[in-house]
Structure 1
Amino acid sequence: MNEPATVPTALLVMEEARRADVYPPEVLAGLGRLVHWQGPPLTRQELDADPDVLRDVDLLLTGWGAPVLDGALLSHAPRLRAVLVAAGSVRHLTTPAFWERDIPIVSAAAANAVPVAEFTLAHVLLGLKQAHHIAREVAHNRRFPTDPDVPGAYRSRVGLLGLGHIGRLVAAHLARFDVEVLAADPVASSDTAERAGVRLVSIDELFAACHVVSLHAPLLPETRGSIGARLLGSMRPGATLINTARGALIDESAATEVLRARPDLTAVLDVTHPEPPAPDSPLFTLPNVVLTPHLAGAMGTERHRLGQLVLDEVDRLTRNRPLRHAIDPAHAASLA
């Protein structure tokens, strides 16, 4: 028998607005068969008002609006043996005090990667057809172009900046098409690239050689504002830039100038910095910017996947099986 002698006690703490999407009734019912609930779900603010509710908690389940796992909070949770986050990033809620406790933390980044990769694939294919660019020309000229020159999805090049969860999943989608996929990632090994079916290149070659470049890098001090005038200005005629990662990767001021000077380029921006952009931001009015409000990540019922991943991991915990989505502390700082 692999099952423990006692049922773990769990508490769900996250914002109320998206709770039902992330933890729908069927996921809560499944969790209820595996854990004893400490009490009803709480928000972070409710937990702050009564942190002693954590005293008997073994498993902390959360999502958007998660509490920060600092020393003060952890001092109220002596029995805590795992944190399971039904969201992508855990960087904003982990602290040195948390890592010192050697408590495993699960991220649902793999589940959130699914819709992001699907959104990216759609815009890659649109970019290879230059759909946004040609639609602008049609609206401006009020006529259809004659036999427009587009790269299409045949022997064209797609560039991925970053080979994390999402970058690798996008590469897997692109493997079905007759395109060459290049990638730039300073921490990706040649084995990782080979398994992903991509060719590692420098970031300079990525931007200069590809018909579409999609950003999937984490936001780190060294990547903040790294996509600026030099890289954007080097892009091929009619190229498309897609950003579903972090808005601050792009130097907005530099990007604005390049996009003004290069109406042939298209920037598909699902993330910005700040988010949303300032009301007077040129991103709202530049004709070659496709601006969407963070639609790529899990929305609506897509969020069920995140809760389902947490449920599956709780099931593994209760059966003393290895977790599949626990964050390696050694790599936590480099994750998105």
Structure 2
Amino acid sequence: MTNESLTGLYVMDPARFDDVYGEAERTAIESCLTIKEPPRSAADLSPDLLAGVDVLVTGWGAPRLTAELLDSAPRLALVLYAAGSVRPLVTEESWARGVRVTSAGTVIADKVADFALAQILYALKHGWRYVLTARRTRAAAVRRSELGTTGATVGLVSLGATGRATARLLARHGVRVLAHDPYVPVATAHALGVELTTLEGVFAESDVVSLHAPLLDETRAMVDARLLRSMRPDATLVNTARGGLVDEAALVTVLGERADLFAVLDVTDPEPSPPGSPLFELDNVVVTPHLAGSLGPERRLLGRAMAEELARYVAGSPLRHEVAAASMEHAA
């Protein structure tokens, strides 16, 4: 294939376009595609713009691949999605028509795993506790019996892309890693150095529990008062996934009951937490504004990944980040 034989169109949130597709990324993409139109938002699409398009180059704010859109884009064969979950994008119609979709979700997962690792290691040394205690008392905090990493147990809820990336990072720190994921084979977990157990086992046995599950009907509010009360003394809950995984009212109650527990929440429900939320009144919780994932210049990595996928597609090589319809049932 050549760039003369393939036509593309940039379609995404205009406010984020330059963050994701910088000059280098656009140059790489346009060496494989003919793109004559300026970037558009999903709301600006029209049938005449889509009629000759083979490849949609997109990201946050992507158009949903409805039957109507697909009827207007009969040549559409590939969607490059420089963002995470493709759930807002794909439809039964897009799968049925064979439109291929590749996502930068695993690139984002690596960044989330970096942040999760930092919080897990900090939690094992009770770092946030000391910071908040010193601020509250205006005196140096007294050291407590922190574990460090040697002999510690870290529990992961879900071994999707982010959970697996976190497990790989934890491998070099000498911790015991437990995980709950009913869809992962034992052999896969063992290859990651992870012991599979029940959700109850993860909470009862871990010094830090890190959430990485997708937010689905069956996972909403899965972290309830029962699980939280079962946590080990001085344990920490880290959530870099979705706020809706946690029953927030139950979390507030249990943290109020047990000052030894701690929570590091990069996501909340709702997000952001409203002013006056009890989360901001507790001494044993830290809320950060969704820092995990790709921020600032890191977003160019997403565009770069999509440019590399396009080069593979043009060369007839397998795509590294392609999303299959069969993977969607339990995916984020």
Please give the secondary structure, in 1, of the residue aligned with 2:48: helix
Is the CA contact (8 Å cut-off) linking 1:4 and 1:319 kept in structure 2? no
Partner of 2:151: 155
Paired AA for residue 251 in structure 1 = D
Residue among 283, 289, 301 paired with 1:287: 283
Offset of 1:286 from its aligned partner? Answer: 2.0
Alignment match, 2:168: 172
1:36 is aligned to 34
What is aligned with 1:53? 49
Q: How does 1:165-314 map to 2 (within 5 A)?
A: 165-314=161-310
Distance 1:149 1:334, change over 3 A: same
Give the SS at the match of 1:313: helix
CA distance in 1, matches of 2:290, 2:224: 21
Matched, 1:17 2:2: no
Q: For residues 22 and 215 of structure 1, what CA distance do their matches in structure 2 show? A: 27
Alpha-carbon displacement from aligned partner over 1:173-228 (angstroms, at most 9, x marks no partner): 11111111111111111121012110001111101111111000011111001001
The answer to whether 1:124 aligns with 2:120 is: yes
Three-state SS of the structure 1 residue aligned to 2:267 is: coil
1:39 and 1:77 mapped to 2: Cα distance? 15
Aligned residues: 332
The offset of 1:18, in angstroms, is 1.3
State the TM-score, normalized to the length of structure 2: 0.97
Amino acid at match of 1:120: A
Counterpart of 1:178, as a letter, is G
- Opposite residue 204 of structure 1, the aligned amino acid is E
Flag as ranges the 4+ runs of structure 1 deviating above 6 A.
none
Is the CA contact 1:91–1:333 (under 8 Å) kept in the aligned structure 2?
no
CA–CA distance in 1 between the matches of 2:146 and 2:48? 62
Map Cα deviations across residues 110-158 of structure 1 (whole Å, 9 max, x no partner): 1111211111110001000011123233333444455420011111001
For 1:206 and 1:16, locate their aligned partners in 2 and report how far apart those are by CA, in whole Å: 42
How far apart, in 1, do the equivalents of 2:51 and 2:158 lie?
Answer: 40
- Which letter does structure 1 place at the counterpart of 2:32? L
Any unmatched runs of 5+ in structure 2?
none
Q: Secondary structure at the match of 2:148?
A: coil
8 Å contact from structure 2 (residues 3, 31) kept in 1: no
Report the TM-score when normalising by structure 1.
0.95
The one-letter code sitting in structure 1 at the alignment partner of 2:11 is V
State the alpha-carbon separation in 2 of the partners of residues 101 and 84 from structure 1: 16
Contact 1:213/1:242 (<8 A) preserved: yes
Distance in 2 between the 1:190 and 1:152 partners? 28
Deviations 1:8-38 (A, max 9, x none): 1010101011111111110001111111004
Q: Note the C-alpha offset of 1:4.
A: 5.1
Amino acid at match of 2:243: G
Instruction: Tell me which amino acid in the other structure corresponds to 2:261.
Output: L
Distance apart, 1:107 and its partner CA: 0.9
Structure 1 spans left out of the alignment, 5+ residues: none
Give % identity.
Answer: 46
Task: Determine helix, strand or coil for the equivalent of 1:241.
Answer: strand
Cα gap change, 1:147/1:279 in structure 2, threshold over 3 Å: closer, same or farther?
Answer: closer
